[in-house]
Chains A and B, each alone.
Chain A
Amino acid sequence: MKLQRKLQQLLKSLIQPLTAVLIGLLTGAVAISLVGASVLETYKVMWDGAFGNFYFVTATLARATPIILIGLGLAIAFRAGVFNMGAEGQMVLGAVSAALAALYVPGSGIIKILAALLAGFLAGGLWSLLAGWMETRFKVQLLISTLLLNYVAVLFAGYLVSRPFQDKSGSAALAQTHMIDQVAWLPKLFQGMSVHMGFVIAMVLAITLYIILRFTSAGYEVRMLGYNPFFAEYGGINKIKVLLFSMFFSGGIAGLAGTVEVLGSQYRYVEGSLTVPGYAWTGLMAALLANSNPLGTAVAAILLAALQTGAMGMERNTEVPLEIASVIQGVLILFVTAKITMNWWKVKKKAGDIHGAA
């Protein structure tokens, strides 16, 4: 009985995202047929590009790693009821700080790695905290301030790697740091495959966050703040403290996303290497798609990464352009919070609302 209800609930919570996925795939199908390709074949090629063999699976997971972390960070902020749009800046500052820490902190590999993780987390966290502080102290809208701070952060990181910390050794003077000593690289999970230790960090963090949000008093405070700030305050939750903590961890985890990219796959900070693939926005979509559930966010992030790696495979093997993936993603998110639900549920819910109001 209880299990059945749980299952029903799970199913109900899945209807919404699944409908959105379906609409997204349908739109993709229309676009594919517009360029005159076969829909089923193209989707088959996409699937193979994402999950076709072990190599592609690991490539998908490698791409998913920063997206999962960004999504987790944002999920915390969303749960606390604030729309943190600053993941990009937080990630970039985390990445550049991590790169510098790994380069300049003396010591063994493990010390460098730990220093880099800490630096990345702190840089992202503090940058995010700045927006949180401006919101709680001066009522500067977080949605807008985080957006604006992105530009500042990306430009600042660009300055660091084009001036004081630029690697001038190469033939072309690219805006990038020196390469990190190999001892400070995050190990790959499989020989010759791109997925690295960062993926494990991301998954562990997803599970940890799920447990914290679901079962601890801190998680309870965050969720209640997000549901109804007045109720939270009434019940003795320190609104400002919880909001600032949430923003700090939200940005810190986004900073970690940048950190593991630097330590695990780029081995240096290269300007644009994190912003051009749009990790931050994809992470945002993962969190939205999963309604900020940490485990769901991880799954959604992997799916979105698969869509992207699949699209790359599709571009290699067919005439269909890569951007189909963005179109599918866009439509998917457009409808993910839409109330396209089955009729019986709507009627039932409406009745419930009226009871609530009476």
Chain B
Amino acid sequence: MELLDLSFFTSAIRMITPILLAALGGALCARVGIFNVGLEGLILAGAFSAIVGNYFSGNVLVAVLVGALGSVLVSLLFGMAAIRFKANPIVAGIAINFLVLGLTTFGLRAIFNVKGAFYDKNMEGLPKLDIPVIEGIPVVGNLLSGHSPLVYIAFLAAIVLYIFFYRTVTGFRVLAVGKNEAAARSLGLKVTLLQYGAIVVCGILCGLAGAQLSLGQVTMFTEGMTAGRGFIALVAMMLGQSHPIGIVGSSLLFGLMDALSIRLQGFSMPTQFTAMLPYIITIIAMFFLKDRGADSQLSGQQSSR
């Protein structure tokens, strides 16, 4: 078996999709001054709601929308705690992770009456999208075509977010809120409204990330199926300094390392060591993060004060 072949890259692209989507959502929150540690919970909420939507409607599009809606509701709860009630965002984010873990497991029992995982063979997963022209090109076609629509949406979202931040008026104001909230308020900008807007969009993006998880490869939901992806998204967000293109880069790095770690398992290395690879590479990458963006100050760690 070759170490790096085409399927390696296609699997990397699939793997980064939920991380990229969630990291973009997190970046949006960071840009309005809210450090969102609750991404893990938001993705999980999306994954679960998507399965619920799928089971009851039998329609994939409805499922994705319900996934987004579920995540938005949780996101609003987080926003309310952090903005309206001025709770410490880090604490509120941790709480959201826990709450959603409990709620989804509870939901599995209450709605589907199962424990651990829910699977129904009648449920339909996300379709694979073949892109007409690109599909025909050798190599590139295999690499870029035939993914679920959410994969394309993820990359599209990064571009849209980039244009939003750096070309539109509202995006400009969002950046302003994150850079200096007091100044933004004194100018009469609708800071709270922008913050809630960011929270809602973050919910949508995380909902899509969750839908990709539960409907993308295999159509099922398992307890705690996010398995730390929300935290990885948080790292990708910080590594990418909350810049959409930077986040694409850091997500790609993580996705490649993840795909590589799976591939390396074929090379008689203990699986534990190969599985460590993405985390260790990410830590090393953080050493090179010299010019740390405004978002890193939000975490309130000693070094950033």
Contacts and interface: CB of A to CB of B under 8 A. Distances in A.
From B78, B87, B238, B300, residue with most partner A Cβ within 10 Å: B87
B98 interface: yes
A68 B238 CA distance: 32
Contacts of B286: 134, 140-141, 144-145
A317 to B, nearest CB: 16
Interface stretch (B57-65, B105-113, B148-156, B188-196): B105-113
Question: Chain A interface secondary structure, helix, strand, loop or mixed?
Answer: helix
A103 to B, nearest CB: 20
From A138, A139, A335, residue with most partner B Cβ within 10 Å: A139
Interface size class of A (residues with CB under 8 A): 35 or more
A338 B79 CA distance: 12
B302 A145 contact: no
Nearest to B237: A144
B94 interface: yes
Given A139-B292, A147-B231, A152-B276, A327 B103 contact: yes
Interface in B84-106: 85-88, 90-92, 94-103, 105-106
Contact of B106 (A31, A83, A141, A142): A31
Nearest to B227: A151
A16 to B, nearest CB: 10
B272 A156 contact: yes
Contacts of A139: 292, 303-304
Contact of A327 (B97, B99, B273, B302): B99
A320 B251 CA distance: 40
Interface stretch (B119-127, B173-181, B209-217, B277-285): B277-285
A326 B105 contact: yes
A142 B110 CA distance: 38
B285 to A, nearest CB: 10
A144 B106 contact: no
Contacts of A162: 270, 272
A335 B84 CA distance: 11
Given A151-B279, A152-B279, A285-B98, A140 B110 contact: no
Contact of A82 (B81, B231, B302): B302
From B97, B98, B273, B280, residue with most partner A Cβ within 10 Å: B98
Given A81-B302, A151-B228, A339-B87, A334 B77 contact: yes
Contact of B301 (A83, A149, A163, A329): A83
Nearest to A338: B85
Contact of A141 (B77, B100, B231, B304): B304
B276 A151 contact: yes
Interface in A40-55: none
A159 B273 contact: yes
Given A327-B106, A338-B85, A140 B96 contact: no
Contacts of B87: 334-339
A36 to B, nearest CB: 10
Interface in B259-295: 270, 272-273, 275-276, 279-280, 282-283, 286-287, 289, 292
Contact of B272 (A145, A159, A225): A159
B301 A143 contact: yes
Contact of B283 (A148, A239, A336): A148
Contacts of A134: 283, 286-287
Contact of B276 (A136, A147, A156, A230): A156
B167 interface: no
A321 B87 CA distance: 29
B42 interface: no
Contacts of B86: 338-339
A158 B272 contact: yes
A109 to B, nearest CB: 32
17 contacts: A83-B90, A141-B303, A143-B90, A151-B275, A151-B279, A225-B302, A229-B302, A284-B94, A285-B98, A288-B94, A321-B105, A323-B105, A330-B99, A331-B95, A334-B81, A338-B85, A338-B86
Given A35-B110, A82-B301, A326-B102, 5 more contacts: A135-B301, A142-B301, A149-B283, A323-B102, A333-B95
Interface of B: 77-78, 81, 85-88, 90-92, 94-103, 105-106, 109-110, 228, 231, 234-235, 238, 270, 272-273, 275-276, 279-280, 282-283, 286-287, 289, 292, 296, 299-305
Interface of A: 31, 34-35, 80-83, 134-136, 138-145, 147-149, 151-152, 155-156, 158-159, 162-163, 225, 229-230, 239, 243, 281, 284-285, 288, 321, 323-340
A-B complex: 5 closest residue pairs judged by Cβ atoms:
A326-B102, A330-B99, A338-B85, A333-B95, A159-B272
